[in-house]
Structure 1
Amino acid sequence: MGCCLHASQKSKNPIISKDVQQDATGEKIKPSRKIKQSMPDPRLSSDGKEPTDAKFAIVQDKSKSKTDISFINAALTKHFIFNSLSEEQRESVINHMKYYILEPREVVFEQNSVGSTFFVVANGKLEVIIDEKRVNVLRPQDSFGELALIHDTPRSATIRTIENSSLWGVDRKTFRNTLEQINALNYAENRGLIESIPVFKILNNSQIESLIASISTNMYSPGQVIVNEGETGDLLFIIKQGSVICSQGDKDLKTLEKGDYFGEQALLYNSVRTATITAGENTKCLTIGRAELTKLFGTSLQLIIHKNSQRIAFDKNHYLKKLTKTQFEKLLGCSEIKEYSEGGKCISQGQRKSENIIVLIKGELQRADGEIVYRVFDIAGLDEVIQATDEVFEEDYYAKGDVNLAVITNSGFFNAIGGDYLKVTSNNEAIKLLKKIPIFRYLNEEQFESLIQVLRVENFKSNEIIFSQNQPGESLFLIKSGRVEVIDKETNRVLRNITKDDYFGERSLLFDKFRSATVQAKGEVSCWVLYKSDFLSILDENLKKLLLKRIELQDDNLNFGDLHIVNQIGTGTFGNVFLVIHKQKKSLYALKAVNKKKIRAYEMEDSLLLERKILLQIDHMLISKLIKTFKDDKRVYFLLEYIRGMNLFDVLRKLDVLTVADAKFYTACIFLILEHLHERDIIYRDLHPMNIMIDDEGYPKLIDFGAAKIIRGRTYTIVGIPPHYMAPEIITGHGYTLSADYWSAGIMLYEFLYAAVPFGEEENDPYMVYEMIQQGKLIFPPNADNKDKIKDLLMQLLSKNPAARLGGTLENLKGHPWFIGINWDKIVRRELPTPYVPTLPSIIHDAESALKNHRPLDEIISKAEKHDEIPKPRPAKEGFNTNWDEEFKG
């Protein structure tokens, strides 16, 4: 069944906390493709509710002595959650801990209750009770409830005092906020230090983010030598705290302090240290290594700087702005870097300007008299190459300071862009416009080239009728210049104006339809025109069928009252999902209905608005599509693409261990899905087999966007994903980025190949799973080989350094040797054979019955909601928008 269901619907495994599990007994059975427990839905968080932990305790904000701090610190070292914290972070958490005083036989929390507090026993004794049996006794410096710091989860035991006892405790909200504040401050400070260094100023935001994620921090005591003169170095040091002394031989040269740096040449060259650097006091340095950067970016920092500099120069040039991304990259790839020292002759008198395109990416060029002629990012020779002139340079030009030039030969330029500049860029303009039209989104480059060959330029005089209402449609018009009016001739009303870089008439290419309006030129108009016969000549039947289906999904001219319920196909904590049929079109959809009482009770308004906003941005062959939203007095509704198929989790159980080819196919599909989301700054955060449907043709479709979020930079919330698929940086609360999704993809790839997850396969206890993820010991089955470097790929995706997972860029990842043979374009166009095509029962009878025996939607949905438990709504906060659901209006 195809629908969007939430994590809270999935099967739950019993949870036994780490401190209780040591005394519990029971035979472990190795599961086969077991369902991994999902995180509670973020909208069910207990943060902000009345406290359920230690309700009757006296709680004090007690100051802590050195002995107290040392005592608590010793308890914290037993847990990976705290071991991953810096000394500063741990101190801050301890400072926020409160003191709980309890009398004998007082309950701290009960089994199966949901709490949010972690405790350290300061004095007294407490008993651990599971199913009314004592299984353990806790004494001073023991701790319990640590999983509550990560997320809501039912307590696995009752904890009760035996005698007068006191506890140190910190709740999840305080813990996470404390870490977020420190990490955000630390991140901002580190970013500021990085961006202040000239060698990094040319990096883009993504590269800066990767750099920050790869920083190491080192402490040096007074008098400790950091680097020695004459050594070969590959580390850059940035002083974050303290100071250092630079010396040569026995002579001190200068002192460097916070914000200063040394060793920058080590990142570019295998250079020798020219001075000895010694810590003058307790000093903290950020360090970045050349080898690490090469691994991170997939190439050397020097090459990245050269490429980035060329990109900036190209972006500034009005000629090169008209090139496509592919042409742009080919041009970068054919340039040769030339380096000159002060005074070196860079351009000779008499040299033909059209011989080379010269891009100044570092330094300045001057005449013999010292006058500056070219500055950084200037380009010489481009006009002359394009216009094929015979002009020459009339003087010699010399380097002022160190100069780097990127030189592109005349022939190299035309080979890179694909021919004559004017013709190529005119075609680029038309292709760019074609790619804006949904029906062309799935064409390949070859098909676009074929389209360009059949496009015709037609010109229209002012007030000329381009086509008339009710006339048979046979062509698409792309406006090259000018403006047209779309007129309803029956009412003589102007419906809209269409101008340059827009289009009209696209539906006539696939459908035998009459024009719904008249289009008239207002002033002189020039259009590219694509005729239906020409368009259909480049399509095969499979692609035509695909385009027709996508156009059908993009038609949101639907009324809520025209939908008839066929049957219920999903039940969730927040909503119910129904298969519906449109009474005129006979098209099937999935309708998710969310009760407004539940929305208010769980304060889900912002979450649903975000989910709607995200779904409206997405239009991809491998992602469930939102057609439209509706609302009424009782509910809000999501009308979604109906995916008729099976869950990937069930498919994996049928296939067991996948073949390499099948694993490659599913993984490539996942990468294409993530590419589409991440290009829109959407992090999914819930990637695992339960959230992927395999449709009736065997292709995967991503569903359920309840945990997705739009981010630019870092986020700190823990939501959604089952523990086995969660990236280490999410668990520890240090902040995470889009790359967390690639960790989950790596877990799935491992699971595809070896029928098990790499961390905690036999564990149901989330704490134990998290601990194993933090340890990061990636172990392969004995029979696993490294053909096509598959182990290397898995180690890259499952790197604890988030920045290293892409290997520089997604293109680098897609270009990994393991993916040789994968045709990425054919996946999007659904032209590849699939590993498994589900055998599905017919729904024709049910659909026909729904049309004949129509019952009101509200009646059926209300019946489905009859047994729903709806908590008492929380009081609305001041400023609450009672019209929050206005955007859902159909």
Structure 2
Amino acid sequence: MGSVCTSIKTPKEVKIESDRKNQHESGLTFKASSTNLSKPNSRQLKEEGKNQKKPRHKAAVDERLVEDNAMEASAAEIMDKPKTEEDVKMIMAALNNHFILRSLDEDSRNMIVEDMKFYIIGPKEIIFEQGQPGVCFFVVASGRLEVIVNGARKNLLGPGNGFGELALLDNRPRTATVKTYDKCTLWGVDRFAFKEAVKKVNVMNHEENKVFIDSVPLFQALTPQQKDSLLSVLTTQRWTSGQKIVKEGDVGNLFYIIKEGIVTCTQNDIEIRQMQKGDFFGEQALLYNTPRTATVTAIGDVKVVSISSDSLIDVLGNSLEQILYKNTQRIACEKSQNLKALSIDQREKVLEKVEVVKYQPGEVIVPRGGKIGEKIWIILKGRVRGPQGSIEVFSCIGDEGLDKSIPDEYLVDYIAELETDVSEITKEKLEECIGGNFLQVTIHNEALAVLKKVHLLRGLTQDKFVSLMRALKVVHFSDGDTIVLQSNPGDSFYIIKTGKVNVFKNDAKIRTITKHDYFGERSVLFNDFRTATVFADGPVSCWLLEKEDFLNIIDEEIRKQLVRRIDLQDDSIALKDLIPIKTIGKGMFGNVILVANKTNRNMYALKTVTREKIDVFGLYENLRLERTISLQLDHTMIAKLIKTYKDPKRVYFLMEYVMGNDLFDVLRDMQLVKDADAKYYAASIVVMLEHLHERDIIYRDLKPENIMIDEEGYPKLIDFGTAKIVHGRTYTTVGTPHYMAPEIILGSGYNFAADWWSLGIMIYEFLYGGVPFGEDEDDTQKVYQKILEHKITWQGQADPTSQAKPLIFQLLNKNPAARTGGSIENLKNHKWFANFNWDRLLSRQLKMPYLPKLKSLHDEIEAAFSNSNELELFLQIEEDQDVLPNIRLRERNQIQNWDEDF
């Protein structure tokens, strides 16, 4: 039996996985096969040796699904009461007793204390009940309270005790009842106020620090992503009046930005200036190990943020000077009309070979009489005087001659006006880097860029693209020429280089296509006749690829993949074309049905959500977001959304059907995973996440259950119910606790780095047979505590020589920005991935670690076609069995025309 490629879990849905002896009940990812899942192995046995399957880890309640009017201590009088110094001390002490709260920064805890309300409540009153969703955290100010579990008193709470802290993270059920023993007063804060307070502090700090970073000239050449990484390593420090922040003559590696207060700078005890908010000092410490040139002393209370050179290397992957110079060169290449015609890979190869040369003021950099284009200079620091005035940083000299066969000469010397650093490379060495004549390479680059836009070719490797590009021929047509003729055999396809063409079908014009559009692409894969006639509209030049050349380059396996991708691009399928086979998933808000196209019997997964549930649960924005995200994704390792439908009863998602088992079940059946197999699965996840993150999509629930291993053994990412488009940071608590990054737990704001943490958890799980934090814990609070304690224990039989352990340490870094080592490319170049063939991974040419054993669906398909099942009747029968969950959402405004794009 197969599996649907995605679950019905929308972004609003509670991910309930109640009984782990059954299959997924949280959504619609139904998994079953002929694999013997009852066989015990090292992944299925508890420490005490019982023959028992390893349970799936419980998923957290999605914070976006919250009950309306939830309230605790309902009998209390609640007021905003000013807090005395003693009140603040008592509350702070209670906060420090709880791992979640003491992990927050000081500003966040101060904000929480400020937001706490004062509760007055009489004796024998319920604060909250066991089994009910949690809402508030309380600190006892006076009186006593009973803690009751299953009807029996377990504890008494008195002044200074805090309780109920887990409710600040999510609304999972209370594990005990708490009621007053006598009259009590409490300080309390609910989850919504708590999260808003933490978010407010973190947003304020993040935005203020971002302004500071942007104002520092030293960081001008950093990319927005690199600047954001710097924000993650800023450390807040406080100094009192008279304290020396840095001392003249000391060697330091910290750079400081003043957030509050004033400092004085002195040399030999003589004040040279004062600095205040927004000013900075110590920038040379990030570049060189030079002694401090002045003493900086606090005048009154001072608050600063600092960055160390070591932390900077951790998050950016190299020294600041190297990064600044590399970024400066990249910016200069983008500004150069000729250099920007090189591909990014080609430019990077060139920049690896440049030589940085330092010039003193007055030195000649470019001599008069030299040939323009024989050598390239990029100004990294300082300034150069040329024939038309000063040439600044981020500028190139000599690049304008690269595309000329007969170069001009420089008529004057180019001279350094200041101390100037320049990167230099000869044209000869540059052409070695790019693999050929500059002009020819850039012409090929244009063709290659267009080839990569051809939908059916997107899954090809870089090597295959290059081979195809070299097989292209340029053909020319005059106005009115017939390029292809409808109903004639087709054995080539065309990409328009210049000009435009008109496309006619049955003598009717259907469209005009222009530069970089293409036509006839299916003829390289199929023996079909041409479906339209194409005429040149004016002079036209095309790149032509013959079918014979294509098939010589592309092997049979890749051709099959391309054919499958073409099938998934068929958005002409209508609902009336689908016949239901069976239900393959049921979730809280909808169903997923295995369906087949009546014409060709291709199978799909059809996800359905009724209008009733959409209205009751306010799913408008969530379904729209899911559609928006899924339509952006076109990757061989990500389940594809083909199209959506709507009618008066439902909305529908027609999805790729993935036949196979989820990775969780595969890991159980594989027992111990070899280092090479773990590397294959980890690399697959890296390219999945890379595809998502390039499109500003964060996944947020990465775990083995959400990766399918298809019938041929290839991984595929499914279920985008928790994914989100993020620009900057987000704050919602979403995910599965055992795989959740610390910054999600704390609510301090997170970005794509949270997905890399989850990958670190999974690599550990591949090699060591369990997760590193809270493997044997079902209590979410204990899991969170283990994660925040961050004590990794290494158990199991993993290869001791493997470089996986350093990579796991890197990915599980509590500093989010350090997880990729500076970039995804750095992550791919980690020692563990040494000699791994990323191109062969994408082209599905690597040996699969595991092949699922699956039952044939032939009998079920034949039965469905014999019975001629009607989709509407089938869906109605399924929906009649649905039970609406007893959950009340907070009220939201109904969105008009939310489904107009479905």
Out of 428, 432, 453, the residue aligned to residue 445 of structure 2 is: 428
Q: CA deviation at 1:54?
A: 2.1
Identity %: 45
Does residue 465 of structure 1 match 2:466? no
1:840-869 Cα offsets, whole Å, 9 max, x none, are 111011011111112222322222222433
In structure 2, C-alpha distance between the alignment counterparts of 1:841 and 1:858, rounded to whole Å: 27
Q: CA deviation at 1:9?
A: 5.4
Q: Which moved more, 1:274-283 or 1:616-625?
A: 274-283
Paired residue type of 1:613: T
Out of 520, 529, 535, the residue aligned to residue 550 of structure 2 is: 535
Q: Which moved more, 1:400-409 or 1:751-760?
A: 400-409
Q: Which moved more, 1:346-355 or 1:834-843?
A: 346-355
Q: CA deviation at 1:879?
A: 6.0
Find the counterpart in structure 2 of residue 724 from structure 1.
Answer: 738
**Change beyond 3 A, Cα 1:858–1:354:** closer
Does residue 692 of structure 1 match 2:707? yes
Q: Which moved more, 1:270-279 or 1:682-691?
A: 270-279
Does residue 240 of structure 1 match 2:259? yes
Does residue 211 of structure 1 match 2:230? yes
Q: CA deviation at 1:873?
A: 9.4
Find the counterpart in structure 2 of residue 655 from structure 1.
Answer: 670
1:14-71 Cα offsets, whole Å, 9 max, x none, are 9xxxxxxxxxxxx99688643111011344223xx11232223222222222222222
In structure 1, C-alpha distance between the alignment counterparts of 2:551 and 2:821, rounded to whole Å: 40
**Change beyond 3 A, Cα 1:190–1:630:** same
Out of 167, 185, 197, the residue aligned to residue 216 of structure 2 is: 197
Q: Compare relative contact order (CA 8 Å, sep 6+) and give the higher one, 1 or 2.
A: 2
**Change beyond 3 A, Cα 1:835–1:783:** closer
1:472-500 Cα offsets, whole Å, 9 max, x none, are 2222110000111112234x2x2111010
> What is the DSSP-based 3-state SS (H/G/I as helix, E as strand, rest coil) of the residue aligned with 1:282?
strand
Find the counterpart in structure 2 of residue 332 from structure 1.
Answer: 351
In structure 2, C-alpha distance between the alignment counterparts of 1:168 and 1:351, rounded to whole Å: 79
In structure 1, C-alpha distance between the alignment counterparts of 2:449 and 2:349, rounded to whole Å: 18
What is the Cα-based RMSD across aligned positions, in Å?
Answer: 2.1
Contact 1:354 1:389 in 2 (8 A): no
Out of 229, 236, 257, the residue aligned to residue 248 of structure 2 is: 229
Contact 2:261 2:300 in 1 (8 A): yes
Q: CA deviation at 1:13?
A: 7.3
Does residue 674 of structure 1 match 2:674? no
Paired residue type of 2:59: S
1:171-210 Cα offsets, whole Å, 9 max, x none, are 1111111111111111011011111111101100110011
Does residue 403 of structure 1 match 2:420? yes
What runs of 5+ residues in structure 2 fail to find an aligned partner? 21-45
> What is the DSSP-based 3-state SS (H/G/I as helix, E as strand, rest coil) of the residue aligned with 2:899?
helix
**Change beyond 3 A, Cα 1:655–1:116:** same
Out of 358, 361, 373, the residue aligned to residue 342 of structure 1 is: 361
Find the counterpart in structure 2 of residue 869 from structure 1.
Answer: 883
Paired residue type of 1:851: F
Does residue 807 of structure 1 match 2:797? no
> What is the DSSP-based 3-state SS (H/G/I as helix, E as strand, rest coil) of the residue aligned with 2:713?
coil
**Change beyond 3 A, Cα 1:427–1:8:** same
In structure 2, C-alpha distance between the alignment counterparts of 1:214 and 1:68, rounded to whole Å: 33
Out of 742, 758, 765, the residue aligned to residue 744 of structure 1 is: 758
Find the counterpart in structure 1 of residue 831 from structure 2.
Answer: 817
**Change beyond 3 A, Cα 1:156–1:202:** same
**Change beyond 3 A, Cα 1:506–1:269:** same
In structure 1, C-alpha distance between the alignment counterparts of 2:882 and 2:132, rounded to whole Å: 20
In structure 1, C-alpha distance between the alignment counterparts of 2:762 and 2:860, rounded to whole Å: 36
Paired residue type of 1:767: Q
Does residue 619 of structure 1 match 2:634? yes
**Change beyond 3 A, Cα 1:230–1:785:** farther
**Change beyond 3 A, Cα 1:13–1:578:** closer
Out of 861, 874, 882, the residue aligned to residue 847 of structure 1 is: 861
Does residue 486 of structure 1 match 2:507? no
Find the counterpart in structure 1 of residue 562 from structure 2.
Answer: 547
Contact 2:239 2:303 in 1 (8 A): yes
Q: CA deviation at 1:365?
A: 1.2
Paired residue type of 1:230: G
Paired residue type of 2:467: S
- Map 1:267-666 → 2, pairs under 5 A: 267-366=286-385, 372-389=389-406, 391-490=408-507, 492=508, 494-666=509-681
In structure 2, C-alpha distance between the alignment counterparts of 1:664 and 1:754, rounded to whole Å: 13
**Change beyond 3 A, Cα 1:741–1:246:** same
In structure 2, C-alpha distance between the alignment counterparts of 1:191 and 1:393, rounded to whole Å: 43
Paired residue type of 1:12: S
Paired residue type of 1:852: S
Contact 2:660 2:709 in 1 (8 A): yes
Out of 195, 201, 204, the residue aligned to residue 176 of structure 1 is: 195
Q: CA deviation at 1:386?
A: 3.3
In structure 2, C-alpha distance between the alignment counterparts of 1:852 and 1:885, rounded to whole Å: 35
Contact 1:13 1:764 in 2 (8 A): no
Q: TM (normalized to structure 1)?
A: 0.94
In structure 2, C-alpha distance between the alignment counterparts of 1:384 and 1:426, rounded to whole Å: 16
What runs of 5+ residues in structure 1 fail to find an aligned partner? 15-26
In structure 1, C-alpha distance between the alignment counterparts of 2:877 and 2:62, rounded to whole Å: 24
In structure 1, C-alpha distance between the alignment counterparts of 2:16 and 2:573, rounded to whole Å: 32
Contact 1:33 1:755 in 2 (8 A): no
Q: Which moved more, 1:838-847 or 1:379-388?
A: 379-388
In structure 1, C-alpha distance between the alignment counterparts of 2:376 and 2:294, rounded to whole Å: 40
In structure 2, C-alpha distance between the alignment counterparts of 1:302 and 1:876, rounded to whole Å: 51
In structure 2, C-alpha distance between the alignment counterparts of 1:767 and 1:872, rounded to whole Å: 25
Contact 1:601 1:873 in 2 (8 A): no
> What is the DSSP-based 3-state SS (H/G/I as helix, E as strand, rest coil) of the residue aligned with 1:170?
strand
Q: CA deviation at 1:374?
A: 2.5
In structure 2, C-alpha distance between the alignment counterparts of 1:289 and 1:850, rounded to whole Å: 66
Q: CA deviation at 1:580?
A: 0.8
Contact 2:588 2:885 in 1 (8 A): no
Out of 848, 851, 857, the residue aligned to residue 837 of structure 1 is: 851
> In the comparison of the two structures, how many residue pairs are matched?
869
Q: Which moved more, 1:780-789 or 1:643-652?
A: 780-789
1:309-338 Cα offsets, whole Å, 9 max, x none, are 111111111111211111111111111111
Paired residue type of 2:269: D
In structure 1, C-alpha distance between the alignment counterparts of 2:354 and 2:300, rounded to whole Å: 47
In structure 1, C-alpha distance between the alignment counterparts of 2:367 and 2:249, rounded to whole Å: 39
In structure 1, C-alpha distance between the alignment counterparts of 2:637 and 2:402, rounded to whole Å: 43
Find the counterpart in structure 1 of residue 61 from structure 2.
Answer: 40
Q: Which moved more, 1:703-712 or 1:776-785?
A: 776-785
In structure 1, C-alpha distance between the alignment counterparts of 2:425 and 2:330, rounded to whole Å: 14
1:711-743 Cα offsets, whole Å, 9 max, x none, are 111111111x11110000111111001010000
Find the counterpart in structure 2 of residue 11 from structure 1.
Answer: 17
**Change beyond 3 A, Cα 1:39–1:200:** same
Find the counterpart in structure 1 of residue 785 from structure 2.
Answer: 771
Find the counterpart in structure 2 of residue 17 from structure 1.
Answer: none
- Map 1:68-83 → 2, pairs under 5 A: 68-83=87-102
Q: CA deviation at 1:654?
A: 1.4
In structure 2, C-alpha distance between the alignment counterparts of 1:335 and 1:774, rounded to whole Å: 44
1:55-91 Cα offsets, whole Å, 9 max, x none, are 2322222222222222211111111222122222212
